[in-house]
Structure 1
Amino acid sequence: MLLGLSGELPDLVQAKFAAAKASEALLFSSTELTVIRTSAGIPFQLRYCPALAKKPEPRKETAPKKKIDPFENPLKELFITDIPATNPSHFLVLNKYPVIPNHFILATKQNKKQTHVLEQDDLEATYACLKAWQSEGSGSNRGRLFAFFNSGDNSGASQPHRHLQFLPVESMHDGRKTSDWDVLINTIVERSTQERPDKSNSVVQHPKLPFTHFAYTFISEPAGAQLLQTYNQLYQRAKQAIVDFISTNPGQLSLHDEAEGDLPISYNLAMTTEGMVIMPRRNEGHMLRRDDGTEIGFVQLNGTVLGGTLMVKFQEEWDVLQQHPEKLDSILEAIGLPASHLEIAATPTL
């Protein structure tokens, strides 16, 4: 897909972000940042954002209000551009409540559902943005982009209007604090490439991650049809993993209602120009506990987990995870399915 932008994508996003932040059209919340590791040594960013824990004053109205769709008529201060330029199917808009600079969103022009299957134009537009960010940037603006998608009640999804989100990887870094950290999806696909020097097209998992996931490495720039085929294959693997989990763990999880075309599972998708990963989800988050079993707080995660990052809102959560990083494994195990490191590369190639 050719985006047909009026300028280079990084420049358009950064200029709009700077203006929206200055006018307070968006509310940026800064975070403290450190890196903790799983028991297998995989680095994860841990962010602390107490501003997100502030609760708004209760409304006096008692009648329920219809939930506003922020993508129906996006604020002009946040709107970036329609894509593609001719007969646009999507548009780009800034996230109104970012914790990472230049966080932006790809949303469908029509109000399509977040819980329905992704379509080829969704994936084409996503990959086009990923590619444009890398190829169009120059100097300090040249970098990488991480895309993620949340679908289903257990995925961390917050809006029903279909949208995928983008985080500039360089905006996620913070000097020496994150010098040995990289987005998790790249760690996954790089591992698969190292293990298969012939770069065979196959679905793989990283053997040291504590949750089930399905990854595919792009060995060349994928066309729209290949993006869709890859997505469908990874999704079917994720669905089957949940069906198998339900059959062997009765009462712990159930499929979603499909009456209105919704998909039966919750999942996260991540994509870079290097590959695509889908992670089936069974919980939106996990209760962090003290050693005596008492509750500290509920840690929620969305598709940024496939970027190798999580965020907490309270001081004790921040302190405990730094002092006891092994608790990260429990969180990751609880939100996904138990890791299955069986050889799955025998999947027919795409």
Structure 2
Amino acid sequence: MSEPIPSVASLQLEPGTLWEQVKQRTIAALAGGALQPIATDYVVIEERGIAFIVRIMANLVRKEITQQQRQAVAKTGKPINPFLPYDPNLFVTDLTATHLCLLNKFNVVDHHILIVTRAFEEQTCWLNWQDFLALWLCLREMAGLGFYNGGAVAGASQPHKHLQLIPLTNDEIPMMPAIATAQFQDGIGRVPTFPFVHGLARLDLDPAIAPEQAATSLLAAYETLLKSVGLHPGKLEPGAQQTGAYNLLVTREWMLLVPRSQESYETIAINALGFVGAFLVKTKEQLERLKQLGIFPVLQQVGIPCSVDRETLLQSLPQS
């Protein structure tokens, strides 16, 4: 396991304050126009005993860069990084010496936050102890679902490393009935109905646990899951590039890791939330196509079929 970096002095979030800061910043950012929620309708699709939630964008809203950003790109030839510098109107709080918390500008779910590195790190670098420390500082105060899109193939829209968190409880996660059926061997869980390669770990982290201890436990689970799905055989080197794209989902009770083979299937884009049963489509035509294809078959297509062996998996996975 990678050695943690001592950081007791680096903790900057005052315990018990995050949720109130998120709510107050949301009110101010909505009033000032910095926060631009994506309006959606939604339907529930039943498949294999799971009630999947599929949201449909209203009025063909898109998460697109602004005209000003386009002009900047044309002038500099470089992509815009919205996190460096970040919009101060979306700033929630400092977390640690290495991470801060922002509101997600184009949120679909209320109080969706981003956990962002202060200095630029690539979204295709392995997660590290500091990432998990920052994630836990948020997760212990906002009971919810943390997630990470490891590269563009996994649904990441920005190259600057950032984790995400939405206040979604286990009871509100569509895939929980399936996850609850996981069968464990040597500490690694497999869900019988999942037709794609994945690994599941039990966490059961108490909010009262020391943040440094929680970060160490999360990193250990992450490294174990990476090894279990064939993505990485051993210790993660600081700053090293991932060997394949993947999605990571984390609650206080469990961690799920899913390797990815492609970002979308038949124009239906999938990010980490798809693997817990939440989808976003752009049009009603995409919704109908998703129904025709079947949700589990789509997840299998963007993941890795369970029949693929680990060696083949490692050789074939895209990194970004």
Q: TM-score, normalised by structure 1?
A: 0.73
Structure 1 residue 5 corresponds to structure 2 residue 6: no
Is the 2:13–2:137 contact (alpha carbons within 8 Å) kept by the matching residues of 1?
A: no
Q: Using a 3 Å threshold, how does the CA distance of structure 1 residues 56 and 227 change in structure 2: closer, same or farther? A: closer
Question: Where in structure 2 are there 5+ consecutive unaligned residues?
Answer: 1-7, 207-212, 234-238, 310-320
State the alpha-carbon separation in 2 of the partners of residues 302 and 54 from structure 1. 14
Structure 1 residue 308 corresponds to structure 2 residue 299: no
Which residue of structure 1 aligns with residue 317 of structure 2?
A: none
CA deviations 1:88-132 (Å, max 9, x no partner) are 221000111111111110011121221111111211221221111
Structure 1 residue 279 corresponds to structure 2 residue 279: no
RMSD of aligned alpha carbons = 3.1
What SS does structure 2 have at the residue aligned with 1:22?
A: helix
Structure 1 residue 190 corresponds to structure 2 residue 177: no
Which residue of structure 1 aligns with residue 50 of structure 2?
A: 42
Q: Using a 3 Å threshold, how does the CA distance of structure 1 residues 55 and 118 change in structure 2: closer, same or farther? A: closer
Question: What percentage of aligned pairs have identical amino acids?
Answer: 29
CA deviations 1:183-205 (Å, max 9, x no partner) are 53x4455333xx57xxx861111
Q: Using a 3 Å threshold, how does the CA distance of structure 1 residues 157 and 122 change in structure 2: closer, same or farther? A: same
Is the 1:90–1:109 contact (alpha carbons within 8 Å) kept by the matching residues of 2?
A: yes
What SS does structure 2 have at the residue aligned with 1:239?
A: coil
Number of aligned residue pairs: give it.
286
Is the 1:4–1:83 contact (alpha carbons within 8 Å) kept by the matching residues of 2?
A: yes
Residue 335 (structure 1) shift:
0.3
Is the 1:17–1:94 contact (alpha carbons within 8 Å) kept by the matching residues of 2?
A: yes
What letter is aligned with 2:93? T
Residue 57 (structure 1) shift:
9.0
Is the 1:189–1:274 contact (alpha carbons within 8 Å) kept by the matching residues of 2?
A: no
Residue 275 (structure 1) shift:
1.0
Structure 1 residue 230 corresponds to structure 2 residue 209: no
Q: Using a 3 Å threshold, how does the CA distance of structure 1 residues 309 and 188 change in structure 2: closer, same or farther? A: same
Q: Using a 3 Å threshold, how does the CA distance of structure 1 residues 56 and 129 change in structure 2: closer, same or farther? A: closer
State the alpha-carbon separation in 2 of the partners of residues 202 and 104 from structure 1. 30
Residue 29 (structure 1) shift:
1.4
What letter is aligned with 1:229? A
- Asked which structure has the greater CA Rg, the reply is 1
State the alpha-carbon separation in 1 of the partners of residues 281 and 288 from structure 2. 10
Is the 1:104–1:167 contact (alpha carbons within 8 Å) kept by the matching residues of 2?
A: yes
Which residue of structure 2 aligns with residue 90 of structure 1?
A: 99
Structure 1 residue 145 corresponds to structure 2 residue 141: no
Is the 1:149–1:270 contact (alpha carbons within 8 Å) kept by the matching residues of 2?
A: yes
Which residue of structure 1 aligns with residue 108 of structure 2?
A: 99
Structure 1 residue 28 corresponds to structure 2 residue 37: yes
Q: Using a 3 Å threshold, how does the CA distance of structure 1 residues 302 and 78 change in structure 2: closer, same or farther? A: same
Match of 2:199 among 187, 211, 214: 214
What letter is aligned with 1:300? A
Q: TM-score, normalised by structure 2?
A: 0.79
What SS does structure 1 have at the residue aligned with 2:216?
A: helix
Q: Using a 3 Å threshold, how does the CA distance of structure 1 residues 236 and 54 change in structure 2: closer, same or farther? A: closer
Is the 1:205–1:341 contact (alpha carbons within 8 Å) kept by the matching residues of 2?
A: no
Match of 1:75 among 87, 97, 110: 87
Which residue of structure 2 aligns with residue 327 of structure 1?
A: 294
CA deviations 1:158-193 (Å, max 9, x no partner) are 1111110111117xx9xxxxxx85253x4455333x
What letter is aligned with 1:75? D
